[in-house]
Structure 1
Amino acid sequence: MPHHVTAGLDGSAESAAAAEWAAREARLRQVALRLLLVSDGPAPSRPATEPGGAGGGRDPGAEFLAGTADALRGRHPGLEVRAERLTGRPAAVLAREAAGADLMVLGSRGLGSVRGFLLGSVALATIVRTGRPVVLVRPEHRPGPGIRGESGAADDHAAAAGSVVVGVDVRETCDATLDFAFGEAALRGGRLRAVHCWSLPPFGRDALALDMARREMLPDIARGLRNVLAPWRQKYPSVEVAEFTPVGGVSDRLLRSAAGAALVVVGRRMRTARAGARLGPVAHAVIRHCTAPVAVVAHD
């Protein structure tokens, strides 16, 4: 069984934020932290000014890796931090190393533009190559405002900041996603918001028909979500679960529900298209736009 959290570094502010988040996660899990710096080509030889060196110059990558490890040890006393430099295609190497970790953590710039998409290509390629959970972290994440449930009462800021949000599709088996989300909520104090989004029949602009349909369908929708969550409530009795069944587009409503969360968990099916493995539309949209850390968990 894996006994460490791995963070991929590339020298960016995003990867530094990922390393800090991964350190806190490793402490929560009481496991070691492993820092990886992956280079496409061979690592530079040691300079002649250092013991065993053969040439002049500096190795900024090695300095960054060592400096990050030392800084994390200083901020998290008692945490075992291992730092390694590997060579190869970053996404392939990170996916391979993720297979032996409890969790892989990567920096994310978000994917709100074409440039952002290109900059996030390594993270996306890593996600679709591994069956292990991958968390994407943006720098300077700060909890946003609380969400409103069906009753209209706003969650207070403290509750939002400490909660885990998970998107649930009651029509699919998503045991791995729910197990991960409940486990993360238990580690963080036991608050989980389970969100299942659904759509009304196409009644056009008939507001009365839409309202009647919502009232008639909502009890069954809520019952379906409750039934899906029941085994996990029993497995994690310390977790306080709030269930939300908003009407609307899945991506949009899930993102609204994720405002202020400590972690957002989405699942992805391990499926392959002609162009290769890919993310589903909901996971892709959440990664594009969510400012909170996002965990993508593969399931059958």
Structure 2
Amino acid sequence: MSRPVTVGVDGSEGSVAAVDWAADEAALRGEGLRLVYATRWAEHQLGAMKVSHDDRAGAAEGVLAETERRVGSRQPGLALTADEVEDAPVSVLLAAAAEAELLVVGSHGLGSVRGFLIGSVGQEVIAEAARPVVLVRPGSEKDGPAPGRNAPGKVVLGLDVNEAKDELLHFAFDFAGRHAVPLEIVHTWHDSFVHHAGAAAKQERAAALADAVRPFRERFPATEVAEVSAPGRAAEHLIDAASDARLVVVGRRRAARGAHIGSVTHAVIHHAPCPVAVVPHS
């Protein structure tokens, strides 16, 4: 059964960026777009302050109507649904993610250290979602194409060859193939590993990466692939590679809950300057 691309809507600048990204992605995939508004956004943002049902409903109606107009202008003819759900944002988005091809959420832009300000909602959703989550910040595609057209750039995948999960590889290859852009796959190790084990160990790591990627090269023969096997910190390599990327893809173990999304994924979602896809895997 076909799943929609789903995007969380709250009227913020980050939400608008996420809606634009999600609309273009849904159109490219030939899927529908679902807008989801959690009516208790305001209560979440204002802490203990209570908001009346009428005020919540009025806010939801206004935001969804404006968002539908924006999507209709950007991607005419796109199948679109809009749902107002009476619950807290994390609960609403997690439920929506379970029924989506992918879930798109916005951030609040870049902080002083050029990192995402994703807030508690984004962090909880990324850590718990059963489906891939794409995090989009305002301005991350400011130099991109006109609506409906592909932007330049590559897809970057961070891969641990010791845990080369099919979910991660398939998502990255599929996304790169759909967008007709190159895929760069990055595998790293600690400097001390090569220092103690020698040059042969470096060749072994490169061979292990090639072995992990080979089945997907065969499955997606039209996709241009570059394999990068290098010493150093994975997060630093990925953030550097993200400077001219369309999307960075990282993983998150399904068994990990709460804040346990992994140090590399945590660093990338906070500091990459482009959209980031977090793909849950077994």
User: Is this a same-fold pair by TM over 0.5?
Assistant: yes
The Cα shift of 1:113 comes to: 7.5
The 3-state SS of whatever aligns with 2:171 is helix
Q: Pick closer, same or farther for the CA change 1:118–1:137 going to 2, 3 Å.
A: closer
Report how far residue 247 of structure 1 moved: 1.5
TM-score, length-scaled by structure 1:
0.80
Structure 1 residue identity aligned to 2:162: R
Counterpart residue number, 1:182? 173
Tell me which residue corresponds to 2:124: 125
Name the CA distance, whole Å, in 2 between partners of 1:58 and 1:4. 24
| Residue number in structure 2 paired with 1:165 | 156
User: Is 1:216 matched with 2:172?
Assistant: no
Cα drift, residue 271 of structure 1: 2.3
1:95-130 residue CA offsets vs partner (Å, 9 max, x unmatched): 11111110100001368589x888521011112222
- How many Å apart are 1:267 and its aligned residue? 0.5
Aligned-partner Cα distance in 2 for 1:245–1:143? 31
Q: CA deviation at 1:266?
A: 0.2
Contact (CA 8 Å) 2:157, 2:172: kept in 1 or not? Answer: yes
Residue 46 of structure 2 corresponds to which residue in structure 1?
A: none
**Which TM-score applies when normalising by structure 2?**
0.85
Indicate conservation of the 8 Å contact 1:142/1:260, yes or no: no
Asked if the contact 1:35–1:83 (Cα under 8 Å) also holds between the matched residues in 2, the reply is yes
The runs of 5 or more residues in structure 1 that have no matched partner are 47-56, 145-158, 203-208
Once residues 136 and 284 of structure 1 are traced to their aligned partners in structure 2, the CA distance between those partners, rounded to angstroms, is 12
Q: Look up the equivalent residue of 1:63 and give its one-letter code.
A: G
- Counterpart of 2:10 in structure 1 is 10
Aligned identity (percent) is: 42
> Which amino acid counterpart does residue 166 of structure 2 have in structure 1?
D
Question: Once the two structures are superposed, what CA deviation does each residue of 1:39-95 show, in whole Å capped at 9, x if it has no partner?
Answer: 22788449xxxxxxxxxx992331121111112111211211211111112111101
The SS at the match of 2:200 is: helix
- In structure 2, relative to structure 1, the CA distance for the partners of 1:175 and 1:162 (3 Å cut) is same
Whether 1:252 and 2:251 are equivalent positions in the alignment is no
User: CA 1:160/1:250 → structure 2, altered by over 3 Å: closer, same or farther?
Assistant: farther
1:265 aligns with 2:249: yes
Question: What pairs with 1:1-300 in structure 2 (closer than 5 Å)?
Answer: 1-40=1-40, 44-45=53-54, 59-109=58-108, 120-142=119-141, 161-201=152-192, 210=195, 215-272=199-256, 276=258, 278-300=260-282
Query: Using the alignment, how far apart are the partners of 1:61 and 1:160 within structure 2?
Result: 32
State the Cα deviation string for residues 198-257 of structure 1 (Å, max 9, x = none): 12227xxxxxx95x9664332211111110001111111111101111211111111111
Equivalent position SS for 1:195: strand
**C-alpha displacement at 1:10, in angstroms?**
1.2
Corresponding letter in the other structure for 1:31: E
Larger Rg: 1
CA 1:272/1:168 → structure 2, altered by over 3 Å: closer, same or farther? closer
Kept in 1: contact 2:186–2:227 (CA 8 A): yes
Counterpart CA distance in 2 for 1:43 and 1:98 is 27
Q: Please list every run of 5 or more consecutive structure 2 residues that lacks an aligned counterpart in the other structure.
A: 44-50, 144-149
CA shift for structure 1 position 160: 9.5
Provide the secondary structure at the position in 1 that maps to 2:6: strand
Partners of 1:271 and 1:278 within 8 A in 2: no
> For 1:254 and 1:129, how far apart are their aligned partners in 2?
23
Partner of 1:53: none
Q: Which amino acid aligns with 2:120?
A: S
Structure 1 residue 291 displacement after superposition: 1.2
| AA partner of residue 225 (structure 1) | L
CA 1:89–1:117 in structure 2 vs 1: closer, same or farther (change >3 Å)? Answer: farther
1:256-281 Cα deviation digits (max 9, x unpaired): 112111111000111246xx463111
Q: Report the 3-state secondary structure (helix = DSSP H, G, I; strand = E; otherwise coil) of the residue aligned with 1:161.
A: coil
Distance change (3 Å), C-alpha of 1:164 and 1:67: same
